[in-house]
Amino acid sequence: MKKIFLSILFIASAISLGRSQENAKNIIQEAAKTRLDSTLQGFVKNGEVAGASALIFEKGKEVYFNAFGHADVDKKIPMKRNTLVQIYSMTKPITGTALMTLYEQGKFKMDDLLEKYAPEFAEMKVYKGVGSNGEMILEPLERPITIRDITRHTAGFSTRSDIPGFSEALNEADPFNWGNTLPQMAKKLGSVPLWFQPGAKWEYGPSVDVQAFLVERISGKPYAEYVQENVLDPLNMNDTRYVVPESGRSRMSSTYRYTEGGSLIQLPNEEAHAFNYKKWPLTPGGWGLTSTLDDYMRFARMLVNNGSLNGVEILDPQTVELMSTNHLDQSITDRSWLPSKGQVGFGIDFAVRLRRPASPQENNGVVGEFFWDGAASTLFWVDPVNELTVVFFVQIFPYNGSLHKRFRDAVYGPIVLPKGSK
């Protein structure tokens, strides 16, 4: 069966009008571009975002780019191709890639115990509740944390602020203070009980910060230095970094908040960019990087090319396959908000699509794709079936998954369920 192209949902109708299949492809690509332009323009026109941009590659070639609206409304700076944005949790797949370069070197195995390399997490206790005296009730581990747990968010860590006793203990330990180094973060995090037994739930949290610490511990190099040398520099991702120099700050997009009243508020740059305008001791693995469309596209294209780009190999194909394979077995039924991403499981720092959408309201996508997003509503995905890589940038809080749904529909066309589906 031939692979689907960017807008294959419309090819059949074009052919039925008497056009050749090749011409239909060309016409359909233009139709897809028109849909994408209209969708991104609509986000800005409707006041949902200040600026939006997207870049798409298919089969190694750029097939779409455009940018609309403003990066900085107050200064009237338009959203551009080289605009820098805070990618937040889209930092996570980069950290996972750095970790897996050490896996390829035989430095660890996926089911090794975390405490083998990080005794900070040995003999941890697990939260069970709060007693009548207000003290936490703790129980011993049923099994230790494995490295697989920290790559799939089943380790037991949590950053929730609403767990009686636990949240107060986490706040007091303050592991994620920007003034902490990664070893200090690990020591403080290891002093707080786990919220649940390892492997019992999928709970998004600081596991990828622990991955960054593990990279530092195993490699013997500061994490920021290791990821620079083994991922960012080889891919020429020169704008992807924790600290943005003064020379690059004019390209930084402002950050916006959508209020309950339905209006956009531009946050002060000094506040929104505080982490990226100064070198802090903390180099988190789960967030913190800035990037551009082209930089992150290089990372995505490396993944769709099975670990290599432009003759530079970052990962073996088998490692990319391992990362993009679901690691959540059926016994892990408590998955927090992960099901809101669609018919997905979770691999190594990516969501992995297992089934096609079950309803038109779900996120569109192709079985086999893997993806992740960021708190400011950025998104990327890798579609190996169609050799498609997509990067979508906005800077809006709170996180708006509706933007992703509509953007995905603009890429693939509306979801069409098989006949007989409800």
pLDDT score of 421:
63
Which residue, among 40, 375, 72, has the nearest Cα to 251 in the 3D structure?
A: 72
Strands (E), 321-364: 344-346, 351-353
Residue 418 falls inside a structural domain: no
Domain shared by 311 and 186, yes or no? no
Helix (H, G, I), strand (E, B) or coil at 174: coil
Per-residue pLDDT of the chain in tens (422 residues, 90 and over written 9) = 333 334 433 333 332 223 334 433 432 378 899 999 999 999 999 999 999 999 999 999 999 999 999 999 999 999 999 999 999 999 999 999 999 999 999 999 999 999 999 999 998 999 999 998 889 999 999 999 999 999 999 999 999 999 999 999 999 999 999 999 999 999 999 999 999 999 999 999 999 999 999 999 999 999 999 999 999 999 999 999 999 999 999 999 999 999 988 899 999 999 999 999 999 999 999 999 999 999 999 999 999 999 999 999 999 999 999 999 999 999 999 999 999 999 999 999 999 999 999 999 999 999 999 999 999 999 999 999 999 999 999 999 999 999 999 999 999 988 888 776 65
Same domain, 351 and 253: yes
Domain boundary (221, 237, 268) is at: 221
Task: Give yes or no: residues 232 and 207 share one domain.
Answer: no
Distance of CA 78 to the CA centre of its chain: 25
pLDDT of residue 417: 83
- Whether 335 contacts 204, CB under 8 Å: no
**281 in the same domain as 408:** yes
> Do residues 134 and 282 share a domain?
no
How would DSSP label each residue in 59-108? TTEEEEEEEEEEEETTTTEEP-TT-BEE-GGGGHHHHHHHHHHHHHTTS-
User: Which range of residues forms the domain containing residue 124?
Assistant: 100-221
Total domains in the fold of the chain: 3
φ and ψ at 182, to 5 degrees?
-60, -45
Token pair of 24 as six digits: 């239909």
Q: Are residues 130 and 8 in the same domain?
A: no
245 and 363 share one domain: yes
CA 284/CA 166 separation, integer angstroms: 22
